[in-house]
Structures are given as C-alpha cells and as structure tokens.
Amino acid sequence: MPEMPELEVLKENLERLIVGKSIEDFRIIKPYIQKTLLPDDLIGERVAGVTRRGKYIEILLASYRIVVHLMLAGRFKIQPKEKEPLKSSAAFIEFDNDNTLHLVEDAKLKRMSMWILPKGKGTDDIKELGPEPLSEEFTIDRLVKLLSGSRERLKNFLLNQRNVAGIGNAYADEICWQAGLSPFKQANKLSADEVARLHGAIRKTLIEATAQTRRLTGKGIEINETRPFMAVHRRKGEPCPRCGTRVQWVSTTARDTFYCPRCQTEGRILKDGRTSRFLKGN
C-alpha cells in the first residue's frame, strides 16, 4: 500500500506528465470507484497542477479537482490513446495529447476511490486530516499536543490520519525503530526526550524514503514500492541495521508489526494477541 513517500513521488511524476493538458474524454468503467457524480462540463478542463494531501492525490482543474485514494493496490497508468482500456481499468481520462491516464485496480477489497469536487473543496472535506509530517506546521509543540490528547498506542497514533497524515503500516514500523521506541508504548506517556526523538524520526524516515523512492522509480508513474531500504518492516529474523539483533514480529488484530527488541523494547519479545501482558504493560 502506497504511503506518503511513494505518493509524493507519484505526485511529482504525474505532474510532469499531465499539467497543461486538456481533458478530451472521461469514462467510468467500474462504478465502485466513483464516490461523486461526474459533472457534465468536465470535458475541456485543463490540468493546472497535481497535489498530494495525506494519502490522497489531487488533480487540479480550472473548476474542479479530481481526488484519488489508491487504497491497497490502485495505480495510475499512462497509455497511448488508441490502445484499448486495460482489463483492470476502473476509469480513464483522455488528454489532448497522445495520452490516456488509466486508474487501474487489481484488488477485490478495499479498492481505490475517486471524488470529483468543485474547486475549493479538498480532501479535508472527505476526511479530516492531521498536519503533513514534512510541513512547517508539524513542529515538536504540535506533536506534543497531538500525543497528549491521544489514548492510543504509539503505532496506532501514527496510523491515525487525524493525528498525522500520510503514514501507513510500513513507515509506522520504521519510524518507531528510528526513534528507538516501542510501537506499543502509550502515546500520551512519552517523555519530552522521546517526543523529540519521535519528531526527528518521522521527518528523517519520510525524507529519506522519498529520496530513495524517487531514485528507484525514475520518471514513471508506476511507483517502485519494493522498499529495499527498510530497516525492520518485513525484515523478520534479519539483523537490525543498528545493533545486529534479529528483528521480531508481532501480529495484533489487523496488522503485523516489526521491531528490534534491543533498540525498542528493552529486550522484551512481544507476544501475539491483544491480551498479552507485554502489550498491556508496555
């Protein structure tokens, strides 16, 4: 599932391809993708820009904005206009050059969504989002306030888009590791020093991952999501890059969490399941 770094690179590369182009045709192939009605006057609108807010990509037009959430496996694909739509195309936009932008979906569940909103209505109208983690407004003070108002575990705090926008399961693991904090630590119990470490870890992890993803992907819009640079996420049994201890894995309700016991949990191995005393006591 793409998170902030992958979506940031997607935004940059999509921008390069479609800004300045006019829409000649717009078709919905699979109705599930469509969360709003298709306006009649969309044809002829020119792309003014592409932005990202949290995990949403927004294509800005003169009178509308097209907002897309890729969820688990949605993708964008550019094809020459004369080519038949792909089997997995859920919608496509034909531009006044040779290109058609396809919104492609491979998943059966948690599929991608698209909203077409009048200009001025943005993603915050769809879902209330917390600050962008790499923006100036995301200060340590802001993080202190967000943490103190939360009764969540640290990993769940990071995953909650109302706290900070754009972080998912993979980068939440990496951020906790980078900060040297247990993913199950209670968010409102972090010390001042731990909050500062967390703030630095969020920024460092996301800045570095964005640079790496940019390098791995190149100029295309099929984003490289292999993430070979990750330290603990999906690295069970491999040595922690910081201390060499084997990375551990714990499964809770809906998610897998990866961590280094030496760097993050004072050597404790966390037990599976919600009733574990380690999870409760941590």
Residues binding Zn ion (CB under 5 A): 240, 242-243, 245, 260, 262-263
Residue 176 beta carbon to Zn ion: minimum distance, rounded to whole angstroms: 12
Rounded Cα–Cα distance for residues 15 and 27 (Å): 21
| Comparison of 129 and 263: residue with beta carbon closer to Zn ion | 263
CA dist list (Å): 53 to 3, 96, 122, 127, 137: 11, 27, 9, 11, 14
Look at residues 166, 147, 148, 181 and name the one whose alpha carbon lies nearest to residue 261: 181
Rounded Cα–Cα distance for residues 130 and 105 (Å): 27
2, 131, 133, 183: the catalytic one is: 2
Residue 264 beta carbon to Zn ion: minimum distance, rounded to whole angstroms: 7
Q: Is 55 a catalytic residue?
A: yes
Residue 240 beta carbon to Zn ion: minimum distance, rounded to whole angstroms: 3
Q: Is 255 a catalytic residue?
A: yes
| Comparison of 39 and 241: residue with beta carbon closer to Zn ion | 241
Rounded Cα–Cα distance for residues 143 and 86 (Å): 44
46, 255, 262, 268: the catalytic one is: 255
Rounded Cα–Cα distance for residues 21 and 95 (Å): 6
Q: Is 239 a catalytic residue?
A: no
| Comparison of 89 and 248: residue with beta carbon closer to Zn ion | 248
Residue 244 beta carbon to Zn ion: minimum distance, rounded to whole angstroms: 7
Q: Is 2 a catalytic residue?
A: yes
Chain position carrying tokens 């006019």: 22
Q: Would you please indicate which residues are annotated as catalytic (active-site) residues?
A: 2-3, 55, 255
